[in-house]
Amino acid sequence: MSAQDLKILVIDEHPDRAAIVERGLVEAGYTRVSLISASVNLIGRVQALEPDVIIIDLENPDRDTLEEMFQVSRVIQRPIAMFVDQSDTASIHAAIEAGVSAYVVDGLRQERIKPILELAVSRFNAFSRLRRERDEAQAKLADRKVVERAKGLLMKKKGLDEEGAYNLLRRAAMDRNRKLADIAQSVITAFELEI
């Protein structure tokens, strides 16, 4: 996606600072920029705008404001660059846990906006890919465990060897046009109902 295509949302309480961010984005080639202030129903407003990237600019955030911004990060799965004037270790850790892609302290200058935005998008994409790969690996492992358990039950109850039990499951999956793990789960459920 090119810079012109990205929808960028800037959240800032101060219109003058928001204008600086917007100017920096436009000069960097980002033309689809929206500005809002943090207020009531922030998450709903952000969801309605459907941004590709969020930039949050906070002067001296208190704990409640930070928590609200971290809530946005948790709910809205998008790259987020957060600029703050002051911070502490707890806030930095909370930002990372909340999924903020770039947390910049004392550094909102117009010329830095583009590289920080690019960093936030790259980091978000890398973490999203890792999360997706982890989820896929966990699902495959769970499926494998179900298949192994079903094979064990078939071997015990029907006197089959491991290859025979697997072939029976595989054939049933092919005949019914279903995933092997789904058939295995059906076998497990059927055996549990016999008890």
- Cα separation of 97 and 16, whole Å? 30
181 domain-assigned: yes
Q: Please tell me whether residues 98 and 170 are part of one structural domain.
A: no
Pairwise CA distance, residues 182 & 178, whole Å: 7
Domain CATH number, residue 15:
3.40.50.2300
For the chain, how many structural domains are there in total?
A: 2
| The pLDDT value given to residue 182 | 95
pLDDT of residue 136: 96
- Residue 25's pLDDT is what? 86
Residue 108 or residue 91, greater confidence? 91
Does 128 fall in a domain? no
Q: What mean pLDDT do residues 17-46 have? A: 83
95, 183: one domain: no
In a domain, 118, yes or no: no
* Mean pLDDT value across residues 4-26: 84
Measured distance between the N- and C-terminal CA atoms of the chain, rounded to whole angstroms = 56
Cα–Cα distance, 194 to 192 (Å, whole number): 5
**CATH number for the domain including 143?**
1.10.10.10
Closest among 44, 41, 35, 37 to 7, alpha carbons compared:
35
141: its two tokens: 């492992």
Task: Write out the H or E segment, with its range, that includes residue 189.
Answer: helix 180-194
User: Alpha-carbon distance 176 to 182, whole Å?
Assistant: 10
Last residue of a domain, one of 74, 108, 142: 108
**Using an 8 Å Cβ cutoff, are 113 and 24 in contact?**
yes
* Residues 20 and 63 both lie in one domain: yes
Query: What is the structure's pLDDT at 104?
Result: 82
How large a percentage of the chain has pLDDT more than 90? 33
Is pLDDT at 10 greater than 70 in this prediction? yes
- List the domain range (segments joined by +) for residue 163: 134-194
Chain-centre distance of CA 46, in angstroms?
16
